[in-house]
């Protein structure tokens, strides 16, 4: 849910990275954090376990620049991907403006991807959102690994609505900013539409 502040002339939006465990959601944020100018970013917060698995969420505030005198700020969040953290995932989706689904391209993770997309749909619906209507981008991550499904196959299973989709290798940044820009653009377009 966006927050428009006339007083500080700011607009704040919330983007959530969703996807199965170990698909690279946190890695996406880490790359964005590493490559963004210090003045455009805040501190990245990771609430993780001792083994660096996301426990509650990662959070990264970003400034994108100004539109008509309003500073646009995006708050990026990840959810914990592991199946048993569902209660936490639901909480993170509260007030979301745009969603990135990070898919793990490895063939053996296809079931986990499907389960996660379905889980996203159900959890969004619980918050009153429709996955077919929210600003939404799909990222096919881990394209550098050997045992991966083709993009056609991934598209057929995970992107029937043909939303913008990007191939990515998150640790080296391939596709990371393209994904972020695409979802941010959709969020702003939605604001314009509903405004």
For the chain, the distance separating the N- and C-terminal CA atoms, rounded to the nearest angstrom, is 13
Q: Is 95 in the site for other proteins (CB under 8 A)?
A: yes
Residue with tokens 């995006």: 74
Minimum distance of other proteins from residue 22's CB (angstroms)? 22
Tokens of residue 47, six digits: 């609430």
Residue 130 parent element (H or E): none
Minimum distance of other proteins from residue 58's CB (angstroms)? 10
Give the residue, chosen from 128, 152, 161, 162, that forms a contact with other proteins under the rule CB under 8 A: 128
Q: Which residues contact 17 (CB under 8 A, 6 or more apart)?
A: 25, 28, 29, 76, 77, 78, 79, 99, 100, 102
Give the residue, chosen from 88, 114, 143, 155, that forms a contact with other proteins under the rule CB under 8 A: 88
Residue 4 parent element (H or E): strand 3-5
Nearer residue to other proteins within complex by CB, 112 or 134? 134
- Distances from the Cα of 81 to the Cα of 36, 73, 119, 192, angstroms: 25, 25, 10, 31
Contact pattern for other proteins over residues 47 through 66, marking x by CB under 8 A = x--------xx-x-x--xxx
Q: Is 71 in the site for other proteins (CB under 8 A)?
A: no
Q: Is 161 in the site for other proteins (CB under 8 A)?
A: no
Q: Is 114 in the site for other proteins (CB under 8 A)?
A: no
Centroid of chain to Cα 48: 17
Task: State the residues that interact with other proteins by CB under 8 A.
Answer: 1-8, 11-12, 14, 42-43, 45, 47, 56-57, 59, 61, 64-68, 70, 72, 75, 87-88, 90-92, 94-95, 97, 128-129, 133-134, 181, 184-185, 188-192, 194-195
């Amino acid at each position: 849910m966006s927050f428009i502040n006339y007083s500080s002339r700011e607009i704040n939006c919330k983007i959530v990275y969703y996807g199965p465990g170990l698909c690279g959601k946190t890695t996406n944020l880490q790359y964005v954090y590493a490559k963004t100018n210090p003045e455009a970013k805040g501190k990245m917060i990771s609430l993780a376990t001792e083994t660096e698995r996301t426990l509650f969420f990662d959070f990264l505030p970003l400034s994108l620049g100004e539109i008509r005198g309003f500073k646009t700020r995006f708050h990026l969040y990840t959810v914990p991907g592991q199946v048993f953290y569902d209660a936490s995932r639901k909480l993170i989706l509260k007030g979301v403006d745009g969603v990135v689904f990070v898919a793990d391209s490895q063939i053996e993770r296809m079931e986990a991807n499907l389960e996660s997309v379905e889980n996203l749909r159900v959890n969004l619906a619980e918050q009153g959102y429709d996955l077919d209507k929210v600003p939404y981008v799909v990222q096919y991550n881990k394209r550098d690994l050997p045992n991966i499904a083709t993009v056609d196959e991934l598209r057929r299973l995970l992107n029937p609505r043909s939303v913008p989709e990007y191939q990515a290798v998150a640790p080296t940044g391939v596709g990371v900013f393209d994904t972020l820009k695409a979802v941010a653009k959709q969020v702003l377009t939605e604001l314009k539409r509903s405004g």
